[in-house]
Structure 1
Amino acid sequence: MSAGGFTTGEIDFIVPSTGQATKTWYKVYGDLANRKNRPLVALHGGPGVVHDYMLSLSDLWTKNEIPVIFYDQIGGGESTHLPEKNGDGDFWSVKLFIAELNNLLKHLKIDEDFDLLGNSWGAMLAAEFATTKPKGLKNLVLASGPASMELFMASQKEKLARLPQEIQDTLKKYEDAGTTDDPEYKKAMMPFLVEYVCRLKPPPAEFMVCLDWLEKDPTVYYTMNGPSEFHIIGTLKTWSIVDRIPEITYRTLLTNGRYDEVDDNCLQPFFDKLQKVKWIQFSESSHLAHWEERDRYMEVVAHFLEV
């Protein structure tokens, strides 16, 4: 165990089509070999963001002795970047990220007994992973993740309409021109992020790190999502798990915030179709309840995980 209470490492992740050695970087809070409680694996959002904005979940280790595992999904953060795959929708697939998760679980020797928490895209990935019936998965937390992108885009459209007309016009101007990399477009995005993604002022430094990484390498985010949370033109645009939700048989906790970009309509299919489900909404939060109502969020998750 390091002085900071965590250990880090890299795992070889073989992806033949890359023609190179690729690695997954991870961080573990707790001792996986001598543990009191089942480990929790945290799946970050994006796609193409990094683990840093999930780090508040390390509270589950310091307060509840739940080992927590973070990692940067391939294409982001400290894991291997593949900018040459920008725009390659066949490469950046759900299947790729499921394979990476399975590789991580086996390497850390926790594939026989673990819990899973995904936020945003991470919740979408967690739901997809759960449909593969992993035998070691016990509990599932789907935090602010939509059941379909159609529902998510409807939520975004409704929220964009609440912004000042000047901001709406600016966003549309750059989207129509295909110049969403312009600094003015990024500036015009901020009121939406402040209202529906993270309402803390100032926002956590760990969240800002994620925005910095997207600036450095937007490959995965642009390919799968698009240039922003509300201009979705990537391969996930038609994604849906609605018809496959009944295949998820694990105890599941749904969470979102009252002001979340992932509104209640986005979660409703999960609540309607899951066999063992509980839904908690955080009244003072948007998309990052694990920061915006940090203490309560950890209490809710720890209780659900039966600690």
Structure 2
Amino acid sequence: MIWNFDRALLIQGIDQPKALSYLQELNLDNHDIIAGIGDQYVGDNIENIPVFDLVTEAINTYPEIKTTLIFSHPYNVLNAGLEALEAGIKQVIIYTENIPPLDIFKLWQKAHEKQVKILGTSQAGILIPDKLCWGVNHSNLYQSGSIALLNYGDSVISTELALFLQKHDLGESIVVNVGNDKFITIDWDFWLEILAEYESTKVILISISDCSNIEPEQFINTLKKVKNKPIIIYLLDPKNLKFIIQNNGAKIITDQIPQHLNRILSPKHFQDYLEKHGITVIREHQEILPWLKKQEFLTINE
């Protein structure tokens, strides 16, 4: 399975506040967005983007659409996703947060049956500087470069990293926010292959806000598949406070699943495990620059 970067995007939940904010931030100049679906009736268009009642209507009018970006209300995401799958959409990016876990599982199961790729949930998006922006906020802070960024956590982290890199005249080849949903297992193999094979990528930077849901051995095996592209892990939340504070919801669902509970690692143990296998791990973003200076193909402006 590959990811199709054809520039034809549908937005579902185009009437939701975050979707409207996203459109305004783009200054209505994102020609990738060619159609929208409202959670409620909103008329024939929003910000000059034609709005349809059904995904099938949008696809019939614009058959080039292959990807949908979902901003729908959390309780509407399941229906929006299923409607997109039935209409023939092959790529789904879900920005919406706080979706009921059972709805997520149902949507993922149906997507697997139909061989549809889902990115997200919770602030997911893809950006290629100066070329494409699907769901990534503050796209003006990203500039073209050679660092592929894979962010597992709040999207603000990738924004902060982009701003930091920009100050040192560094940019990104491609950015993927995989979301921050604790109930979803990330397809690291798929996304790392996308980043590594992108033509401008020379270095891969992976930021991880919460390692508690990552199976370390499988993660290491995935990293080892990437050849000739140095990888650095930016591990946030060293005391695992986010997991401790937010884990009550996950614990209710997973109390009867020992395998899940047994996989939980502290950031310290996760870091030790990665470093034992030769993976560079940093805890402060300022450490990125010294590491990059060691890569002979990168020049850092002080």
TM-score normalised according to structure 1 size: 0.39
**Bigger proportion of residues as helix:** 1
* TM-score normalised according to structure 2 size: 0.40
Larger Rg: 2
